[in-house]
């Protein structure tokens, strides 16, 4: 049954969430927990499909309760009609009391809590309301499950990628000399939303000229002129993030930037080729880092090679030098994004999203990155793209 204005929870979501809950139940069984209190909104979405903030989930295998407040009452109607969870309406800022009542009525005596997510204050409140002895700190139980994506998640990330790539094509078609970084950011974000994205997966980064050497640049009023243009952007679709970076030469790539472009591209392709189950994340990072080191730019590659991608833009696992005991597994979706950054000259980063498969990996993104394709001509002679 559907609520006016709201679709029922889809059969695909119900099936996926049930399978995820089954896996969680196996992990919890080893810890003798009667239930887990999930406070991280992304994890609640992962296990139920419900996207409301400020809510809690008490879950034990197939049995679960979403504990929320009046702001989400109507929104939660499809969940009331689904087999995924009971819905308990509580009072904002007093949800711990509702958790306590639910646990008492359901016979929950050992309740796991998400130590990696709770603030010290929230943890103390839970201890006061539920009794310290009934709480068991757990760490990243759901985060570890989320590392391996299921078919629904992969399909959703692919939709986000398709949207971000189409949006970039459209935005670059409206690029003009003198347009500001923020104007291009706005066009790109508009085009993603116009295609169904609920938002960018992080603040869209458009860095013109030498500013491209600032790794986590914040786009601003500077104008886009001939030369380097680094764009790091992504879309959120049905909660899932995509993430890519391309470095362009507007009119031309400055000679030094072209030199580092070729090194970064080689390093990125070699790292992607090396991705397969059983390799550690540190080994994959080292493939790119060795090539960049050998070219003399090791000091200018000041970040890890990439990160897991899913409901969060950055999530476990991470490609970096510390990840010597983190092993790639089928179903992981990772970014591969080496970069070289030369202050005063410019930076190059090239970022794609890859799915680890049973015997290697599949690159999910396919926006051109050949050096020839990286040189673009503004489609519009001059002036902002209004």
Residue numbers of the site for ligand GLY (CB under 6 A)?
Answer: 202, 232, 243
Classified as helix, coil or strand, 249 is strand
Q: How far is the CB of 202 from ligand GLY (least distance, A)?
A: 5
219 — phi, psi (to 5°)? -60, 150
Our finding on whether 353 is near Mn ion (CB under 5 A) is: no
Residues facing residue 340 across a β-bridge: 348
* 211 exposure class (CB count in 10 Å sphere: 0-12, 13-18, 19+): buried
Q: Using CB under 5 A, which residues numbered 315 to 344 contact Mn ion?
A: 335
Q: How far is the CB of 241 from ligand GLY (least distance, A)?
A: 9
Residue 360 DSSP one-character state: S
Which lies closer to Mn ion via its Cβ, residue 48 or residue 268? 268
Choose the one of ligand GLY, Mn ion, none that binds residue 202, judging by a C-beta under 5 to 8 angstroms depending on kind: ligand GLY
- Spatial neighbors of 339 by CB under 8 A, at least 6 apart, are 215, 245, 264, 301, 303, 347, 348, 349, 350
Q: How far is the CB of 263 from ligand GLY (least distance, A)?
A: 20
The tokens describing 356, both together, are 């680890």
Our finding on whether 243 is near Mn ion (CB under 5 A) is: yes
From the centroid of its chain, how far is CA 225? 31
Which lies closer to ligand GLY via its Cβ, residue 141 or residue 309? 309
Q: How far is the CB of 304 from ligand GLY (least distance, A)?
A: 9
Q: How far is the CB of 306 from ligand GLY (least distance, A)?
A: 8
Which lies closer to Mn ion via its Cβ, residue 67 or residue 241? 241
Residues facing residue 6 across a β-bridge: 3
- Residue 133 CA to residue 188 CA, distance in Å, equals 51
Which lies closer to Mn ion via its Cβ, residue 174 or residue 307? 307
Choose the one of Mn ion, ligand GLY, none that binds residue 96, judging by a C-beta under 5 to 8 angstroms depending on kind: none
Q: How far is the CB of 338 from ligand GLY (least distance, A)?
A: 12
Q: How many residues at the interface with Mn ion, by CB under 5 A?
A: 2
The tokens describing 181, both together, are 């970084």
- Spatial neighbors of 35 by CB under 8 A, at least 6 apart, are 58, 59, 60, 63, 103, 106, 108, 111, 112
Q: How far is the CB of 275 from ligand GLY (least distance, A)?
A: 17
Choose the one of Mn ion, ligand GLY, none that binds residue 153, judging by a C-beta under 5 to 8 angstroms depending on kind: none
In sign, the C-alpha dihedral spanning 369, 371, 377, 383 is: positive
Our finding on whether 365 is near Mn ion (CB under 5 A) is: no
Which lies closer to ligand GLY via its Cβ, residue 9 or residue 205? 205
Which lies closer to ligand GLY via its Cβ, residue 40 or residue 242? 242
Which lies closer to ligand GLY via its Cβ, residue 269 or residue 307? 307
């Amino acid at each position: 049954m559907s609520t006016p204005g709201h679709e029922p929870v889809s059969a695909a979501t119900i099936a996926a969430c049930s399978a995820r809950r089954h896996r969680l139940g196996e992990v919890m069984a080893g810890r003798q927990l009667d239930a887990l209190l999930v406070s991280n909104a992304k994890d609640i979405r992962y296990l139920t499909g419900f996207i409301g903030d400020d809510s809690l989930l008490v879950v034990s295998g197939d049995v679960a309760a979403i504990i929320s407040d009046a702001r989400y009452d109507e929104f939660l109607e499809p969940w009331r009609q689904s087999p995924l969870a009971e819905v308990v309406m509580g009072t904002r800022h007093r949800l711990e009391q509702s958790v306590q009542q639910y646990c008492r009525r359901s016979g929950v005596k050992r309740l796991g809590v998400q130590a990696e997510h709770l603030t010290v204050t929230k943890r103390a409140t839970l201890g006061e309301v539920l009794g310290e002895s009934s709480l068991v700190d757990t760490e990243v139980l759901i985060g570890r499950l989320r590392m391996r994506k299921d078919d629904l998640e992969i399909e959703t990330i692919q939709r986000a990628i398709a949207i971000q790539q189409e949006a970039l094509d459209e935005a670059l078609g409206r690029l003009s000399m003198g347009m500001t970084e923020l104007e291009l950011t706005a066009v790109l974000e508009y085009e993603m939303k116009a295609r169904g994205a609920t938002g960018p997966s992080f603040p869209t980064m458009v860095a013109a000229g030498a500013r491209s050497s600032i790794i986590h640049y914040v786009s601003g009023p500077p104008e886009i002129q001939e030369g380097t243009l680094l764009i790091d952007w992504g879309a959120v679709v049905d909660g899932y993030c995509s993430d890519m970076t391309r470095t362009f030469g507007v009119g031309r790539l400055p000679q030094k930037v072209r030199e580092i472009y070729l090194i970064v591209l080689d390093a990125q392709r070699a790292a992607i080729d090396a991705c397969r189950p059983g390799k550690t994340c540190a080994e994959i990072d080292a493939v790119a880092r060795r090539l960049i080191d050998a070219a003399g730019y090791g000091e200018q590659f000041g970040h890890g090679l990439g990160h897991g991608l899913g409901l969060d833009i950055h999530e476990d696992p991470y490609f970096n030098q510390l990840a010597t005991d983190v092993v790639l597994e089928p179903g992981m979706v990772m970014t591969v994004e080496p970069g070289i950054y030369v202050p005063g000259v410019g930076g190059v980063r090239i970022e794609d999203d890859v799915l680890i498969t049973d015997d290697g990996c599949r690159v999910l993104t396919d926006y051109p990155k050949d050096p020839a394709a990286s040189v673009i001509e503004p489609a519009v002679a001059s002036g902002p793209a209004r």
